[in-house]
Amino acid sequence: MQPEIKMKSPRIEVADALRGFAVLAIILIHNVEHFNLYFLPEWEPEFLKTINSYVWEGIFFFFGGKAYAIFALLFGFSFYIQFNNRQNVGKDFSMRFAWRLVLLFLFGLFNAVFYPGDILSLYAIVGFTIIPVRKLNDRIVMFIAAFFMLQPVEIGKIVYALFHPDFVPSSSLEYLWKNTLSGLMSESFLETVRINLLYGEPFSLLWAWDNGRFFQTSSLFMIGMLLGRNKRFLFSAENMKFWKRVLLIAVLVFIPVYLLRMYLSIPSFSEGVRIPLTVITGSLSNVFFMVILVSSFILLWYGSRLKKVQSHLVQYGRMSLTNYITQSILGSFIYFAYGLGMYQYLGSLFSLLTGIIIFVVQLCFCKWWLKHHKQGPFERLWHNLTWINSK
């Protein structure tokens, strides 16, 4: 039987700090893109437009697709902790976890009321894939995770396109997005809610499917579980060597995959091959850059004085669900037409600053709240509902 991981373990602290870092990155991305209401003010002077372009490119290069991947990795890690703790007292957590996923889906619907780009519902759906592999040995789980990471559906499309040159992958995203946009531009909050749930949520899930997020997320859940099994977030000389090797491999793999992804932007292949190959390389480049961020964060946490700075994210990460949902509420009111409608006036630079302000306000709230409570508001609600009818 594996030893139980205590909630006061440093391993949990570095995981919470990483989770806080991921939510911070998500907030910055969402603000720069105006919570999916993409708009670049034309009245701004040229020098500010240039700065905006650098901000946009920089934020998406460093965090686009990577923040969600960190979140997914830590979701699998959290599952391991919960499963392991229940196993240590002779209980099986699988059915309780399935119920927990149902609750997460409901949280996702609530979040989708404000933001048509929610990931909680995606995590809730994909989370069921981790239950069947929870007791398999590491090699089998890693094989399944690697298979999913390679995007089997996209590989199938490429094979099909090689035998059918006229094949072009189809999607309903344009129709769903056109209707979603009309809701974001509405001055009626109730109309925005209706459109977000009717079109925005399906758009978000279909976009995730078309861009390989379903298989990528499932793979990262499993990898996060394996990291938990092997105690990779604990400090030890062996783990420090492990994360250094991981960092080196991630850098060496990311560079050629990213360059290939850039090359695919040039029309050199048929659409039937280029589109799914772009999804595969995009997913892989995001994951390997995420690994660079995670391994660097952990190495700095255990091996530098920056831990004092990073540790401020611990409390923020402990309330990640609350922070994720409340940033959607605040952001939609700031940018959407039913609220302040600031999408018309804020370029990337000032939107980034707005995101930083939201983060600072949330961080202060987290520090105050956790002085008086053990969990954040939504975390506590999720916990209580998870263990309802339990002794």
Other C-beta atoms closer than 10 Å to the C-beta of 375 total: 17
Find out whether 146 and 219 touch, Cβ atoms under 8 Å.
yes
pLDDT digits (tens, 9 = 90+) for 242-264: 999 999 999 999 999 999 988 88
Pairwise CA distance, residues 222 & 129, whole Å: 9
What was the pLDDT predicted at 391? 64
DSSP for 197-234, written as a single string: IIIIHHHHHHHHHHTTHHHHHHHHHHHHHHHHHTTTTS
Contacts of 295 (CB under 8 A, 6+ apart): 243, 244, 246, 247, 250
Q: Band of the pLDDT at 171, cuts 50, 70, 90? A: confident
- Quick one: average pLDDT of 258-284? 88
* pLDDT classification of 4: cutoffs 50, 70, 90: very low
> What's the rounded Cα separation, in Å, for the pair 100 and 207?
24
Over the range 230-254, which residues count as b (16 or more CB within 10 Å of their CB) and which as e?
ebbbeeeeebeebbeebbeebeebb
Query: SS3 letters for 69-134?
Result: HHHHHHHHHHHHHHHHHHHHCCCCCHHHHHHHHHHHHHHHHHHHCCCCCCCHHHHHHHHHHHCCCC
Q: Residue 379's closest CA among 120, 29, 129, 83?
A: 120
How far apart CA 47 and CA 13 sit, in angstroms, is 42
3-12, 166-175, 214-223, 243-252: segment of lowest average pLDDT = 3-12
For the chain, the domains span 10-386
- Residue 287 is classified by DSSP as H
pLDDT of residue 6: 43
What does the alpha-carbon distance between residue 90 and residue 333 come to, in Å, rounded to a whole number?
A: 47
DSSP-derived secondary structure letter, 285: H
Nearest-angstrom CA–CA distance, 29 and 348: 10
Cβ(277)–Cβ(158) below 8 Å: yes
% pLDDT > 70, the chain: 97
> For 45-96, how does the pLDDT look when each residue is reduced to its tens digit (9 = 90+)?
888 989 999 999 999 999 999 999 999 999 999 999 999 988 888 888 999 9
Q: What pLDDT digit, counting tens, does each position of 333-363 carry?
A: 999 999 999 999 999 999 999 999 999 999 9
Percent of the chain clearing pLDDT 90 (strictly above) = 78
Q: pLDDT grade, residue 203 (50/70/90)? A: very high
Cα→Cα distances 303→144, 221, 239, 244, 310, Å: 33, 27, 12, 11, 12
At 151 the three-state DSSP class reads: coil
Separation CA 270–CA 274 (nearest Å): 6
Q: Which two tokens stand for residue 56?
A: 């946009």
